[in-house]
Amino acid sequence: MLAKFTFKNHRSFLDEQTLSFEASSDDSYKWTVAPVESAILPRSSGLLRTLAVFGPLASGKSNVLRALDYMKRVVLMSASLPITHQNDTFAFQYGAGNLDSHYEVEIIQNGTYYRYGFVIRDFRIVKEWLMRRAERLTTLFSRDEYSLKIIGLPRNSASLLSPSPYTLFLPVASSLNLEINREVGDVMDWFRSLCVSFSARREDLQIYAEKEEYLKDAYRILSLADCGIDGIQLIQEGSYTDIETSHRVYDAEGHFVRAKKARLFQDRQLYSDATAELVCTLAKVLRALDCGTVLCLDDFTRTLGLPVALEIIRLFSNPAQPAAKAQLVLTSGISPLVDKAFRRDQIYFTRRDGQSRSQLVRLSSLPGVRKGESYEKKLLENLRHGQLKLE
């Protein structure tokens, strides 16, 4: 599970921002909070199963997810590709390209709390760290521009393992026989399972082949969208994958005549872009729910529609879900969804200031936001008047 994501100097964000899943003492929607043992996360009220980032066009909400996606790609690809060169720093302040870009996650994986992060400056890794909490918070390894320290390993031996300044140590450590192999493996597995989605792809349909139940559940959710689909079937012919849908055909008097079949991508002209994206997105949703992983969906309501969006949020909020640890992060324009599915600490919003710097603000941190009032109205008021004075 994801407890916190902290980042700075990435795309439209210059200052440090934090997206936190840690629940407040709010007693509404209790089912959307996953309990966490105090030994793992001290003084915690639990972790939220869903978070939403709302904001107007070009306010930076998608860039929150892009920062997390970039962190994942550096972790998984830096050992083989110069991915640090793709770091996208704040563009609207002279000299920001020479400042530190910071990325850190606090996660719970296999019942253990980890804090992992790194700092990039001039496309080079200048700091990296991995911590674990057992009885106390312990640094498993730390690195700067000049040295590498690994718990249980003499400094001279550790220095021989220092990777290139364009490569993280975490993926390198996963291939070495170290005392911290289990912990490194936990963090690497978490990043592998993290899914950050900005658009649906045809390749997503292959997820339906993993479990028969995925297609059945997708059809049930599709029925809420009222898109005229009367049945779906997965088609796999060698490397070709598609979804075949059934539709009822009626005569002039309105009597059912036969079922017409068509394929989502082969007969693309028969479907809207929204229908194709919905079917692909549902595959990622159902796998995340089944495996208990973190799913981030950008522009959440663009293709889903309100009934489907509410059902997906309900599924992630359900403590009886198979893995019971799945989490959803979504971005969306401000809409009625704000008041229909979330409590105050689940809602973030973004806006840009007069210097084009995006800010990520938690609704519950604003003064005067009371439980039960219209959160949509509160967001619009703050964005309209630029009232971002925090307590």
Q: Helices 273-291 and 212-225: crossing angle, nearest 10°?
A: 130
Cα–Cα–Cα angle for 266, 270, 272, rounded to 5 degrees: 105
pLDDT at 243: 92
3-state secondary structure of 202: helix
Residue 60: what pLDDT?
93
Q: What element of type H or E holds 155?
A: helix 155-159
Contact 32, 26 (CB under 8 A): no
Q: Enumerate residues 6+ apart whose C-beta is below 8 A from 310.
A: 337, 340, 341
What is the rounded distance in angstroms from the CA atom of residue 371 to the CA atom of residue 369?
7
Strands in the chain per DSSP E: 2-8, 17-20, 33-34, 47-48, 50-54, 101-109, 112-121, 124-133, 137-144, 148-150, 195-197, 231-237, 240-250, 256-263, 294-297, 327-332, 347-352, 358-362
Q: What pLDDT, on the 0 to 100 scale, is given for residue 259?
A: 82
* Model pLDDT, residue 385: 53
The domain spans of the chain are 2-194+337-385, 202-290
* Nearest alpha-carbon partner for 353 in 390, 391, 383, 379: 383
- Average pLDDT per consecutive 10 residues, the chain (391 residues; last block may be shorter): 97 96 88 90 91 92 97 93 89 92 97 97 96 92 94 88 93 92 97 94 93 93 85 90 88 84 86 87 95 94 84 88 83 86 92 91 85 78 55 31
**pLDDT for position 384:** 63
Cα 108 versus chain centre, distance: 15
Residue 99: count other Cβ atoms within 10 Å of its Cβ: 15
In this prediction, residue 341 carries a pLDDT of: 87
Query: What phi and psi, each to the nearest 5 degrees, are found at residue 303?
Result: -115, -10
According to DSSP, the residues that pair with 237 across neighbouring strands are: 240
Give residue 345's identity as a one-letter amino acid code: D
- Antiparallel, parallel or unpaired: β 195-197 and 294-297: parallel
Q: How many CA atoms lie within 13 A of 389 on its CB side?
A: 4
CA count, 13 A, side-chain hemisphere, 240: 8
CB 121 within 8 A of CB 101: yes
Residues with Cβ within 8 Å of 259's Cβ and at least 6 positions away in sequence, in order, are 230, 231, 246, 247, 248, 249
* Nearest CA among 130, 148, 147 for reference residue 139: 130
List of E strands, 238-302: 240-250, 256-263, 294-297
Q: What gap in Å lies between CA 282 and CA 4, rounded to an integer?
A: 25
- Phi/psi at 281 (5° precision): -65, -40
Percent of the chain with pLDDT over 70: 97
Q: How many other C-beta atoms can be found within 10 angstroms of the C-beta atom of residue 24?
A: 17
**CA nearest 170: which of 217, 212, 129, 125?**
129
- CA dist 170 and 234 (Å) reads 38
Residue 8: is it exposed, middle or buried by C-beta count within 10 angstroms (0-12/13-18/19+)? buried
The pLDDT score that the predictor gives to residue 23 is 94
pTM greater than 0.85 (yes/no): yes
Separation between Cα atoms, residue 274 and residue 268, nearest integer Å: 12
